[in-house]
Amino acid sequence: MTWQFTLTGLGLGLIVGLTGVGGGSLMTPILIIVFGFKPTYAVGTDIFHGAIFKSFGAIRHRRLSTVHGHLAFWLFLGSGPLAIAGVVVSYALRNSISNAQTILGYAIGVALICGGAGFLAKSFVKRGVQPSEAPFIMSRRDKLIAVGTGALFGFIVGLTSVGSGTYFGLMMVLVYPLTMPRIVGTDIFHAAALLWVAGVGHLIIGDVDLHATAWLLLGSVPGILISSRYTVKVPDMTIRGGLAGILIISGLKLLNVPEANWILGAGLVALLVVLTIYTVNVMLSERRTAPDPRTTPERA
């Protein structure tokens, strides 16, 4: 099984490049539900692939000067060690409990549901503080919040691979007076560093399928490099709602709720129908309200 991994990587790379919205959290449920990976190997492979994949974005944002280095450092001060703790807990569960895969699968399911809800919340939540172009000097309180945020969500990422591009960005929107480009850049830069630490940890304990990782990268890296040159005029709510819905439905599947297969199939169909109707309505509304160039008076 090779080209299937490459095609999957290509699809995720195209999504990230075309929309600018991270789809990394989709990799773990895809590896488990579609390819039949054990949860431990799905998490390790996803994290190691994400470390390499997001490094390209991190370098790009660093060159664009959209990374707040001090904030990324204080986030990593909490997330790095706790991500390793998450890896250690995963390793301990695998070697001491007979149903460790089931337990980790449930943990991933909960993380996916929370991650989907958090991803959707980023579209609705109001700014906690007003963004500013002025240099942001971190106070002691800002640093403590960053370390605490990193510790909490770093552990979740190390254990489940979910949330490196959701939880941290949401907290930055609520707490820090950064513009959206700097939030995105700092989020991606920090996520790359965090995933490298967790990814190497999973590699050491043998939870990374290097064969799958290589073929995933063969699709995802060209996908994001090619598609990042273009943009797709799709409503932001369609993209975020679609990804959030898929994460939540996948989480319910991994939690083995009653009739999980029916929920997965019917949920995806319903999500597709609702988002299609919403997108068509928004685009038609924009066309109706757009000024007609034939009737717009020319400027002298």
User: What is the mean pLDDT, run by run of 10 residues, along the chain of 300 residues?
Assistant: 86 72 75 91 92 86 88 96 95 86 88 82 65 83 95 93 80 84 87 94 94 93 76 68 81 80 80 81 74 54
Structural domain contains residue 269? no
Establish if 177 belongs to a structural domain.
Answer: yes
pLDDT at 296: 54
Q: Is residue 277 part of a domain?
A: no
Would you say residue 41 lies in a domain? yes
Question: What per-residue confidence (pLDDT) applies to 268?
Answer: 80
8/27 Cα distance (integer angstroms): 9
**181: its two tokens:** 């480009």
Concatenate the DSSP letters of all residues of 203-262 into one string. Answer: HHTT---HHHHHHHHHHHHHHHHHHTT------HHHHHHHHHHHHHHHHHHHTT-TTHHH
223 neighbors 10 (Cβ within 8 angstroms): yes
CB 108 within 8 A of CB 29: yes
Q: What is the value of pTM for the model shown? A: 0.83
pLDDT score for 231? 56
| Confidence (pLDDT) at 16 | 72
Amino acid 300: pLDDT = 45
Q: 287 lies in a domain? A: no
Note whether 173 and 128 are within 8 A (CB). yes
What's the pLDDT score for residue 291?
63
What are the b/e assignments for 119-154, b being 16+ CB within 10 Å? bbebeeeeeeeebeeeebebeeebbebbbebbbebb
Q: Determine the pLDDT at residue 88.
A: 95
What pLDDT, on the 0 to 100 scale, is given for residue 3?
84
Domain count, the chain: 1
Domain that holds residue 149: 3-231
